[in-house]
Chain A
């Protein structure tokens, strides 16, 4: 909770228009938007918490549950779709045993889809914790996940 307070203290005299930025900062620090954070921001801005929640749920970026250690984003842009990102996504869902938008029970992987990452020339693209992987086929995806799993086991 202290992190949220810190962020709010750092941003003095902000009005409603700073809301999305604040939420982004909170998510950056905490990994997700907690109920407490919504209430805190609501008190700080003097905007009803229902409105804050309304804004937060409108945008795809905001999450309301903690993120796994590895954040996998599968691009579902047109170019990626044409090049077979649907099968990559399906492999990912089967392999991790979760649907897009969820986190595995061990807290290791979160799977999300994104409208377009803007690297269409290298489709299909995925990113893991912000690092981009180009021309990812279902097989290549399996390999990447296996590598991560092996690395995690060692630790």
Chain B
């Protein structure tokens, strides 16, 4: 079904008055299909240039590219519309620039920088698009000849986009563009034709599970809150994406904020909440800005407010900015933070669905969960539950990063294998290095080795190999990454972020970090008790991990040992190399490296001696130098400054 037919069909399911009101608000009472088509820019009269201006695009230099394009257009006297869109998810190709010409499909270029934009612009406008940097064309009525379709690009071909459907395609600041692609119809349909129970049922039957990591069935959560007896209820959208390595929530809010708002509206209607909060990280300024604008637009167009579409349903959304505490991703801690307290978790039960924000029943869902809801209502639960595996339905967005060729956001149906994501979508490991492991689920997840990357992704299968879905960060590691160092990195992170309320998490993670530090410390800096800690190492790590897992108060502590446990399980030999041989096989633990100067190559320029912070390098000028091992702190300065590559690391 084309989008036009779809829009018509959806409008026809609404009651007359609602359809009329909808058309008059968003299409000024004119023919909705015509206006929607022009809003989708299917057949443009003047050229349109889209610039991917999400945070990642801007970091890669989209701002400078835009300025250059503007000056080029002026210079060449071309009239064109410039649209800033969100992120389509192909981060390693940023900045991305798309062009739509009259009677031509939209065409997408990657790595468009001020240096090469003129060439690309000229080639597109002369209707001979250059092959270099060309990513592909979008589907449409007016194909370019000899240009691959974007959906055939290996990065996109295995993806199935529900949540990211509009990201990077539409102008996130325009509510009309969202509506032109079927937006807000699900919400209007829900409040005018469905009862809250029907909405809960539909979501429950779809099999949607929380995308924040826990995987609790969303419909069930809603039903619990709906059944709770209270005259006030709250809805919270958890956009406190604290997991290092995950950025899908940011991309969705930046690129398609209305989808999240619509999902929240439907959820609020289903549980009977009239007030919602979006708890969003302050580290995401662009997402906050876009979301603020989207909420104002939704209010102005009668989507938020009182008695929405005469349904008697009042609803409004407020933004609360997080203040940088990882533990606030935990739901009870998040509630405390919204209440203006220290973000510390409390024991459950009572669950927030019974007693949450300000003591009232509260439903907390993740951004991605909400973003799935409009599509479930629009296409029905049968459609959604037809995707995925037996116990995990739908799609999941992963943030693919690390040592792969193509990084970015990928949305795949549940049941896709990790191998497909890393090698087909991600294009394998960069620079021909060897794949070692993939870290999934952030600080609560684990590392999966090469032997296990054939598993099909769903909530249960990931648990069985010692990892978890988490929020969906996938960090690929190559042979140069040391697994002990990774475990230490996460333990350091958790130890910093532990709120300090319960002892196992506060003290236990500290002890685990001490052991890991002792394991990776250089021989020279080792004190007597360190040697003991090192040998106790593996045994005690496992004991501590077990206690912390079983006795911590909240999810942060209960999952804190996972990175250590999973690396111990799959990469025990690396730990042993550190402990017994005092060697880091990957060469990543800088303290364990030993530096020496190759006498034949050394010209005696004494540059290294000047740079050495501990004066460990000796030698007369113009004769070979040497490093005094006892003084060396393995900082690596000498290796960086040496022009003759005379410094050897072992």
Residues of A whose CB lies within 8 Å of any CB of B are 15-21, 23-24, 54-55, 58-62, 76-83, 114-123, 125, 130, 132-134, 138
Considering the complex of A and B, which 9 residue pairs feature the smallest CB-CB distances, nearest first? Answer: A121-B91, A132-B59, A77-B244, A59-B323, A118-B247, A19-B340, A60-B324, A79-B401, A120-B401
Task: Tell me the bound Cα distance from A32 to B646 in angstroms.
Answer: 48
* Least Cβ–Cβ distance between A96 and chain B, in angstroms: 15
**Most interface-central of B61, B282, B442, B490 (chain A CB within 10 A):** B282
* B321–A21 touching, CB < 8 Å: yes
Task: Tell me the bound Cα distance from A36 to B58 in angstroms.
Answer: 38
Task: Tell me the bound Cα distance from A17 to B399 in angstroms.
Answer: 33
Q: Using A81-B244, A121-B91 as known contacts, list a sample of 9 further A-B pairs with CB atoms less than 8 Å apart, ordered by residue number in A.
A: A16-B341, A17-B340, A20-B320, A58-B343, A79-B473, A119-B91, A120-B401, A120-B475, A132-B55
Complex partner residue of A120 from B60, B326, B342, B473, CB under 8 angstroms: B473
* B325–A58 touching, CB < 8 Å: yes
A78-B439 in contact given A17-B338, A55-B342, A119-B56 (Cβ < 8 Å): yes
* Least Cβ–Cβ distance between B481 and chain A, in angstroms: 6
Q: Which A residue sits closest to B358, measured CB to CB?
A: A17
Whether, in the assembled complex, B162 has its beta carbon less than 8 Å from a beta carbon of chain A, the answer is no
Task: Tell me the bound Cα distance from A118 to B326 in angstroms.
Answer: 14
* A121–B407 touching, CB < 8 Å: yes
Q: Which B residue sits closest to A28, measured CB to CB?
A: B282
* B246–A82 touching, CB < 8 Å: no
Task: Tell me the bound Cα distance from A76 to B492 in angstroms.
Answer: 11
* B325–A59 touching, CB < 8 Å: yes
Task: Tell me the bound Cα distance from A10 to B614 in angstroms.
Answer: 56
* Least Cβ–Cβ distance between B249 and chain A, in angstroms: 8
Whether, in the assembled complex, B94 has its beta carbon less than 8 Å from a beta carbon of chain A, the answer is yes
* Least Cβ–Cβ distance between A33 and chain B, in angstroms: 11
* Least Cβ–Cβ distance between A18 and chain B, in angstroms: 6
Task: Tell me the bound Cα distance from A20 to B497 in angstroms.
Answer: 18
* Least Cβ–Cβ distance between B419 and chain A, in angstroms: 19
* B92–A78 touching, CB < 8 Å: no
Complex partner residue of A79 from B58, B251, B402, CB under 8 angstroms: B402
Q: Which B residue sits closest to A52, measured CB to CB?
A: B340
Contact residue range for chain B? 35 or more
* B283–A118 touching, CB < 8 Å: yes
A16-B340 in contact given A59-B325, A116-B243 (Cβ < 8 Å): yes
Complex partner residue of B60 from A76, A77, A114, A134, CB under 8 angstroms: A134
Complex partner residue of A82 from B341, B409, B477, CB under 8 angstroms: B477
Whether, in the assembled complex, B175 has its beta carbon less than 8 Å from a beta carbon of chain A, the answer is no
* Least Cβ–Cβ distance between B246 and chain A, in angstroms: 7
Q: Which A residue sits closest to B640, measured CB to CB?
A: A138
Whether, in the assembled complex, B339 has its beta carbon less than 8 Å from a beta carbon of chain A, the answer is yes
Query: What 1/0 mask marks residues of chain B from 113 to 151 whose CB sits below 8 Å from any chain A CB?
Result: 000000000000000000000000000000000000000
For the residues of B in contact with A, the DSSP-based class is mixed
By a CB distance below 8 angstroms, the chain B residues around A130 are 285
* B324–A61 touching, CB < 8 Å: yes
By a CB distance below 8 angstroms, the chain B residues around A59 are 323-325, 343
By a CB distance below 8 angstroms, the chain B residues around A114 are 283, 324
By a CB distance below 8 angstroms, the chain A residues around B59 are 119, 122, 125, 132-134
Task: Tell me the bound Cα distance from A61 to B246 in angstroms.
Answer: 20
The 23 sampled A-B contact pairs (Cβ below 8 Å) are: A16-B340, A17-B340, A20-B340, A24-B321, A59-B325, A62-B323, A76-B493, A78-B442, A78-B486, A79-B475, A80-B244, A82-B402, A82-B403, A114-B283, A115-B324, A120-B475, A121-B247, A122-B56, A122-B407, A132-B55, A132-B59, A134-B56, A134-B94
Task: Tell me the bound Cα distance from A122 to B400 in angstroms.
Answer: 11
By a CB distance below 8 angstroms, the chain B residues around A81 are 244, 486, 489
Task: Tell me the bound Cα distance from A114 to B493 in angstroms.
Answer: 11
Task: Tell me the bound Cα distance from A133 to B58 in angstroms.
Answer: 9
Complex partner residue of A115 from B358, B399, B497, CB under 8 angstroms: B497
A-contacting residues, B294-329, CB 8 Å: 320-321, 323-326
* A20–B321 touching, CB < 8 Å: yes
Q: Which A residue sits closest to B245, measured CB to CB?
A: A78
Complex partner residue of B284 from A16, A55, A62, A118, CB under 8 angstroms: A118
* Least Cβ–Cβ distance between B462 and chain A, in angstroms: 17
Q: Which A residue sits closest to B339, measured CB to CB?
A: A17
A60-B56 in contact given A16-B339, A54-B342, A118-B283 (Cβ < 8 Å): no
**Most interface-central of A81, A117, A118 (chain B CB within 10 A):** A118
Task: Tell me the bound Cα distance from A125 to B61 in angstroms.
Answer: 13
By a CB distance below 8 angstroms, the chain B residues around A133 are 59
By a CB distance below 8 angstroms, the chain B residues around A117 are 55, 283
Query: What 1/0 mask marks residues of chain B from 475 to 506 whose CB sits below 8 Å from any chain A CB?
Result: 10100010000100110010001010000000
Task: Tell me the bound Cα distance from A82 to B489 in angstroms.
Answer: 10
Q: Which B residue sits closest to A45, measured CB to CB?
A: B340
Whether, in the assembled complex, B388 has its beta carbon less than 8 Å from a beta carbon of chain A, the answer is no
By a CB distance below 8 angstroms, the chain B residues around A15 are 340
A119-B475 in contact given A114-B283, A133-B59 (Cβ < 8 Å): no
A61-B55 in contact given A79-B402, A120-B245, A121-B92 (Cβ < 8 Å): no
* B94–A21 touching, CB < 8 Å: no
Task: Tell me the bound Cα distance from A53 to B61 in angstroms.
Answer: 39
